Amino acid sequence: MKNILIPTDFSENAWNATRYALELFQHEPCTFHFLNTYTPAIASSRFMAASFTSDRLEDGAEACSERGLRNWVERIEQKYSSEIHTYTVTSSFSLLADEVKEMVVDRNIDLLVTGTKGASGIEEVFMGSNTVRMIKLVKNCPILAVPQHFELARPDEIAFATDFNRFYTQTELQPLVDMAKAFGAVIRIVHVQYEIKALTELQQFNLSMLRKYLGKFEHYVHTVSELNSVSKTLEVFTKELDIHLLAMLNYQHSYMERMTREPVVKRMAFHTQIPLLVIPELGMEAHSRITKGEEVSMSN
């Protein structure tokens, strides 16, 4: 049974992410955990009745949150009745990213699904500040970010963006492998270069290991020149090849980190058009232990 966590603020953006997840995993037994957090703002006491305390504000916000979650599940059951899906709801007086981090551990979450917002002028922050916070804070669960206007398309073409500078373990690649296996997808490994040049010996080794791990799946390697920014390059690549899902590992100096740190002027033209699967890296200790184990198994 797969455990999927979906934060919601009851917006159509959140509904689109929920709908995508329900349809994507319609044939797989899942428990969907819906989370709504609230942090009621306290108005200035100059405009507040003496008896209107912060406790009353919190009580009102809690009731609204719980009512919204009940309505959310009712809406799902009306449109997506399924005997293999179950639902839980959590209403929490806390910050979203902090609560998500705790629930990922407490509920043994396999996948976090969140809606993302498109560009909004100079305030554009790649995918929305909440999504970026969760990507930076949640280190033990893959995150699937779904654009607000994206219509479900079976992910039979998956792009995996990498620079080959880091050794990926089989454990880290498992979310990508699971998606490819579930949907019979072709995996397109895309390498973005500022200038086209031969791979180093280290990059060649990491590429060969990556291809070894993905050997059971149809996959291709694409090397493309950077267009203004990594985000713009990947946007063009996914459009041209009709990619339905973009996956990246999130680690120091990775494409994912570079994209979240790009200057605003470079992100202005980027609109998240397709779902993005962000895979967290293992901790350094675990990474070292697993890597050594894999080396031993290869030598036997």
What domains are there in the chain, each with its CATH number?
1-151 (3.40.50.620), 153-300 (3.40.50.620)
**Among 242, 145, 111, residue whose Cα is nearest residue 188:** 242
- Residue 261's pLDDT is 60
**Which residues of 80-185 form beta strands (DSSP E)?**
85-92, 111-116, 143-147, 157-161
**Measured distance CA(119)–CA(270) in Å, rounded:** 7
- Residue 270's pLDDT is 46
Q: How confident is the model at residue 294 (pLDDT cuts 50, 70, 90)?
A: very low
Q: How confident is the model at residue 55 (pLDDT cuts 50, 70, 90)?
A: low
Q: How confident is the model at residue 152 (pLDDT cuts 50, 70, 90)?
A: confident
Half-sphere exposure of 223 (CA within 13 A, CB side): 12
Residue 94 has pLDDT above 70, yes or no: yes
pLDDT digit string (tens) for 9-22?
Answer: 999 989 999 999 99
- Residue 14's pLDDT is 93
**Measured distance CA(42)–CA(238) in Å, rounded:** 44
Using N-to-C axis directions, what is the helix angle for 201-213 and 170-183, rounded to 10°? Answer: 50
Q: DSSP state, 269?
A: T
Most trustworthy range by pLDDT among 25-34, 146-155, 273-282: 25-34
Q: Does residue 34 contact residue 6 with C-beta atoms inside 8 Å?
A: yes
Instruction: Output 11 or 294, whichever has higher pLDDT.
Output: 11
Query: What are 191's strand-pairing partners?
Result: 223
- Residue 267's pLDDT is 46
Considering the chain, what is the average pLDDT of its residues?
81
Residue 263 has pLDDT above 70, yes or no: no
CA 48 to chain centre: 41
| Sequential DSSP letters for 7-51 | E--SSHHHHHHHHHHHHHTTTS-EEEEEEEE--PPPPPGGGS-TT
- Residue 116's pLDDT is 82
**Measured distance CA(94)–CA(107) in Å, rounded:** 17
Q: How confident is the model at residue 194 (pLDDT cuts 50, 70, 90)?
A: confident
Q: Does residue 97 contact residue 137 with C-beta atoms inside 8 Å?
A: yes
- Residue 72's pLDDT is 97
Q: How confident is the model at residue 57 (pLDDT cuts 50, 70, 90)?
A: low
Kindly state the average pLDDT of the residues 158-167.
Answer: 91
Q: Does residue 176 contact residue 247 with C-beta atoms inside 8 Å?
A: yes
- Residue 257's pLDDT is 65
Q: How confident is the model at residue 193 (pLDDT cuts 50, 70, 90)?
A: confident
Residue 292 has pLDDT above 60, yes or no: no
Instruction: Output 32 or 262, whichever has higher pLDDT.
Output: 32
Q: DSSP state, 115?
A: E
pLDDT digit string (tens) for 207-241?
Answer: 999 999 999 999 999 999 888 777 788 888 998 99
Whole-prediction pTM: 0.81
The amino acid that residue 63 corresponds to is A
- Rounded to 5°, the CA angle 23-72-84 comes to 40
